[in-house]
Amino acid sequence: MITLEKASTPLKGQIFVPGDKSISHRSIMFGALAEGSSEITGFLDSADCQSTIECFRKMGIIIEHTQRPMNGVPIITVHGKGLRGLQAPTSSLYTGNSGTTTRLMTGILSAQDFESTISGDSSIEKRPMDRVITPLSQMGADIVSLRGNKCCPLHIKGNPGLHGITYRSPIASAQVKSSIILAGLYAEGDTVVHEPAMSRNHTETMLHAFGADIYNELDVNGAGTAILHPGVPLRGIKINVPGDISSAAYFIAAAILVPGSEVIIRNVGINKTRSGLIAVLQQMGADIELINVDNSMEPRADIVVRHSYLHGTKNGRFEIAGRRIPTLIDEIPIIAVIAATADFETVIKDAAELKVKESNRIDTVVDNLKAMGADIESTPDGMIIRGGKKLKGADIDSHMDHRIAMSFAIASLVAEGTTRILDDHCVGISYPSFFKDLQNLVHSN
Ligand code: S3P
C-alpha cells in the first residue's frame, strides 16, 4: 500500500515515460517469427512484456539484453527463426496478467505443428477468450478452454494447415484483430478483418515494416479493415519504441489538474489510433501542445501540458462515444478522474469493453471515485460523471489493476487529505518506476 497527499506545489519539468507496451510486445513476437535478428531500443521493461519474452524463450527463441557500447542505451536483440522456427514448449506458456500476450500468442500457436497450453494469473483466467477462439476455429484452429468457461487455461493442438477468412468482428479490438492476422500469416489465402471502429493498428504498421503484405482501409463511417496477403517471409528489423501514450496520460492529467503546472513529456507515441485522449482533452479546453513531431513508422512527439481550466462544451455536457472509444480505451480511468474535477457533465458511452479489462473498469472507476466524493454513476456501457465536486482522500482498491492504481494516484494530487492505494505494486505491469517518476515531478519545485 502507498500513501499519497495532495500536491502542494505545481509540477514542473520534463519526463520520459517507458516504451509503448503494445509495440514492445509485438517487437518480441514479430522479431521471433522473422528471419534474422531484430534490434529493439526503447523496449518496455515491465512484467507484461517480460511474460512475452519468457514465452518465446520457452519456444526456443534467443532474446538478449545488451547495452550500446557508446552510450549505454539498453538493446534487446531477438534472434528470429522464421515463421516455422518455433519449438514445442516443454511446459505451459504462462502469460501472467497480459491479455496481449495471451490473445496474440493464441493466434500464432494455432498454426504451429505442435501442441501447447497457455495459462495466466487470476485476472487472465477471467478474461474472455472466445473472442479469439471463434474466429481462429473458423480458420481451422483446434483450441479448447480447459475449464470449459471460454477462458484460460487454453489447450491448442496446432494446425499447420489453417485457411484465411474474412471476419466481421463484433467488437473493435486490436487483440482480436492481431490474433487473427498472426494466424493468417500461416494460412492458405487472404485474411481480412473488419471492425466496427478502427482499433490500434500497430500490428499492421509493424508487420508491414517486417516485410508482410498487409494494409488498412478506413471507410467513411470510421469502420476499419485489415487485409493480409500471406506468403511473404518476415525479415528482422530495427525498432525504436516510442514512449507509451497510455503511461504519459497520467502526467498529462497531473499537469492539467495541479494549479501552476507545466510539464513536457518527451518522445511519446502519437499514432492516431491511440491518441484520442489528446483530442478529447483539447476539446475540453486543455492546454496541450505537440512539438518536435516525428512521423516515423510509429509517429512520436514531445507533449507540452499546462494547468488548464476545462470548460467542456457550450451545453455543459461532454460526450465520449462511438469510434473514438478504441482510440482512448485504456485512458478512460484517468479521463474519468479528470472529468470528476471539471465543471461539467461527462458521458462515456459504447465502452462496455471496459468490463473485461484487467479489472471491470466501469465498477473499479465508479466505486473508487465515489469513495473520493465524486458524483458518478455507472451505465451498462460506460459512466456519467457530474463534475465539480471536490475530491477527498480515500482508500483506493486497485483490484490489482495497474491503470486503476495510477489513475487514482493522480486523483490524490488534487484530493483533500490522505489517499492510500492498495496493491500499488501492480503498476509494475506497465510502468515499474511510476511512483518514483511521480514523486520526482511532485517535488520538482
Ligand atoms: C492492446 C489492445 C487493447 C488494449 C490493451 C492492449 C494491444 O485491448 O486495451 O491494453 O496491445 O493490442 P483490446 O484489443 O482488447 O481492446
| CATH numbers and ranges of domains, the chain | 2-18+242-442 (3.65.10.10), 21-240 (3.65.10.10)
Rounded Cα gap, residues 281 and 324, in angstroms: 13
Rounded Cα gap, residues 144 and 106, in angstroms: 11
Q: Report H helices in 91-242.
A: 99-110, 130-138, 174-184, 202-209
> How far does the centroid of ligand 1 lie from the alpha carbon of residue 330, in Å?
8
* Ligand 1 proximity of 175 Cβ (cutoff 6 Å): yes
* Ligand 1 proximity of 52 Cβ (cutoff 6 Å): no
Q: Are 152 and 145 in contact (CB under 8 A)?
A: yes
- Per-residue pLDDT of 53-97, as tens digits, reads 999 999 999 999 999 888 889 999 999 999 999 999 999 999 999
In sequence order, what are the residues at sequence separation of 6 or more whose Cβ sits closer than 8 angstroms to the Cβ of residue 17? Answer: 243, 244, 247, 248, 251, 265, 268, 431, 437
Q: Please list the residues that pair with 265 across neighbouring strands.
A: 15, 303
Alpha carbon nearest to ligand 1 atom 4, residue: 330
* Ligand 1 proximity of 330 Cβ (cutoff 6 Å): yes
- Write the DSSP assignment of 220-240 as a string of letters: TTS-EEEEEE--PPPB--EEE
Return the pLDDT at 305: 98
Q: How far apart are the first and last CA of the chain?
A: 26
> How far does the centroid of ligand 1 lie from the alpha carbon of residue 100, in Å?
6
Beta-sheet strands, E only, within 284-331: 287-294, 300-306, 317-320
Ligand 1 atom closest to the CA of 131, numbered from 1: 15
Q: Are 212 and 234 in contact (CB under 8 A)?
A: yes
Rounded Cα gap, residues 183 and 322, in angstroms: 28
Return the pLDDT at 351: 98
Polymer length of the chain: 445
- Per-residue pLDDT of 104-132, as tens digits, reads 999 999 999 999 999 999 999 999 999 99
Rounded Cα gap, residues 186 and 111, in angstroms: 6
Q: Are 10 and 445 in contact (CB under 8 A)?
A: yes
pLDDT-flagged residues of the chain (< 50)? none
Active site residue 330: yes
Give me the catalytic one of 20, 48, 121, 330. Answer: 330
Query: How much is the pTM?
Result: 0.98
Task: Indicate the top mutation candidate among 20, 21, 22 to test ligand 1's pocket, ranked by most ligand atoms within 8 A of CB.
Answer: 22
> How far does the centroid of ligand 1 lie from the alpha carbon of residue 357, in Å?
9
Q: Which residue has the cell 473458423?
A: 138
Rounded Cα gap, residues 18 and 434, in angstroms: 9
* Ligand 1 proximity of 169 Cβ (cutoff 6 Å): no
Q: What percentage of the chain carries pLDDT values higher than 70?
A: 100
Q: What percentage of the chain carries pLDDT values higher than 90?
A: 95
* Ligand 1 proximity of 22 Cβ (cutoff 6 Å): yes
Q: Which residue from 179, 149, 145 is spatially nearest to 162, judged by alpha carbons?
A: 179
